[in-house]
Amino acid sequence: MAVFTGAGVAIITPFHEDGSINYDKLDELIDYHCENGTDSIIICGTTGESATMTEEEHIDCIKHTIDYTRKRIPVIAGTGSNSTATAIQMSKEASEYGADGLLIVTPYYNKATQQGLFEHYKAVADEVTAPIIVYSVASRTGCNVEAATMARMVKEIDNIVGIKEASGNISQVADIMNLTDGNIDLYSGNDDQIVPLLSLGGKGVISVLANIAPKETHDICELFFKGDVKGSCALQLKALPLIHKLFCEVNPIPVKMAANLMGMEVGGLRMPLTELTKEHTEQLAQAMRDFGIQLEK
């Protein structure tokens, strides 16, 4: 059984003015998602600025989210690292604490070989009980999980159950589903490709868009699963202009601005990320209005 089906939010991490994590605001965001159709919370992913967290902050944030969510919806913990030892340590802590799943990004900067990727994921999987979703996003890590490697992992490692596929390469996704005989939980890692990946047997999306449009992102999946492919596709296409603006600068710069435009007061970004430019902010705000999102700023 899949860790979740539908729209999981790659949730932003709110900060105080001094840059510390704003846990009270994080609680508000968790409630917001539980009340608005989000099917899973993915904490401490790229969108959550995990790369700028200390290991202590990282684990504390995961544990806080598990505690506050109280099993209302599944919590998937981002525990990847370019150090296998660090990934093992964080994954063990999150798994033992009760994370419903682990999202583990490919090692970045090191650029492991395909054999290295297999051994990295196997080393982590051997130390945890929680199901693992591999996160393949070569545009950020410089490291692609090839279809044959993913199929090997799924077939040989029991608790590697899924992939967040953000390559943008539909042919590669099709190859993954073919080589695994569809026995893998496939999640779109790109908001502009939810419906295409669902059509190949996907279970849903791990979404940036869901931070500001949780119901609509959920509905894209729900409509598809109910057989209303036309309605699902129409909603996917309607969201495209907004999705494009959410990636007009590197994620999560635009989505954090979008949340603040809605009055969520999630704070700023940690360096080296910088605030969205004025021109892009105006374009983002217009795309949000066009999509039907009410702004408070």
Mean pLDDT computed over 195-221: 98
Topology, domain 6-234: TIM Barrel (3.20.20)
Chain-centroid distance of CA 109 in Å reads 20
pLDDT in tens, 7-32: 999 999 999 999 999 999 999 999 99
pLDDT at 274 (0 to 100): 97
Q: 244: which 2 tokens?
A: 């494009």
CB neighbour list of residue 61: distance below 8 Å, 6 or more residues apart: 13, 21, 26, 43, 44, 48, 53
* Token output for 129: 């009980």
Q: How many C-beta atoms lie closer than 10 Å to residue 54's C-beta?
A: 8
Average pLDDT over residues 141-147: 95
Distance in angstroms (rounded) separating the CA atoms of residues 220 and 229: 9
Please give the Cα distance from 257 to 242 (Å, whole number): 13
Q: What is the pLDDT of residues 241-259, one digit of tens each?
A: 999 999 999 999 999 999 9
Token pair listed for 67? 């505690």
Active site residues: 135, 164
The pLDDT value recorded for residue 1 is 81
Report yes or no: 100 and 130 within 8 Å, Cβ to Cβ: yes
Q: How far apart are CA 120 and CA 130, in angstroms?
A: 16
First to last CA, the chain: 42
Amino acid at position 248, single letter: C
**CA dist list (Å): 104 to 110, 155, 295:** 15, 18, 34
Residue ranges covered by each domain of the chain: 6-234
Q: Are 239 and 191 in contact (CB under 8 A)?
A: yes
User: Tokens in use for 106?
Assistant: 């490919």
Structure confidence at residue 186 as a pLDDT band (50, 70, 90): very high
Four-CA torsion 272, 275, 192, 44, nearest 10 degrees: 50
pLDDT tens for 44-94 read: 999 999 999 999 999 999 999 999 999 999 999 999 999 999 999 999 999
Tell whether pTM > 0.95: yes
pLDDT tops 70 at residue 297: no
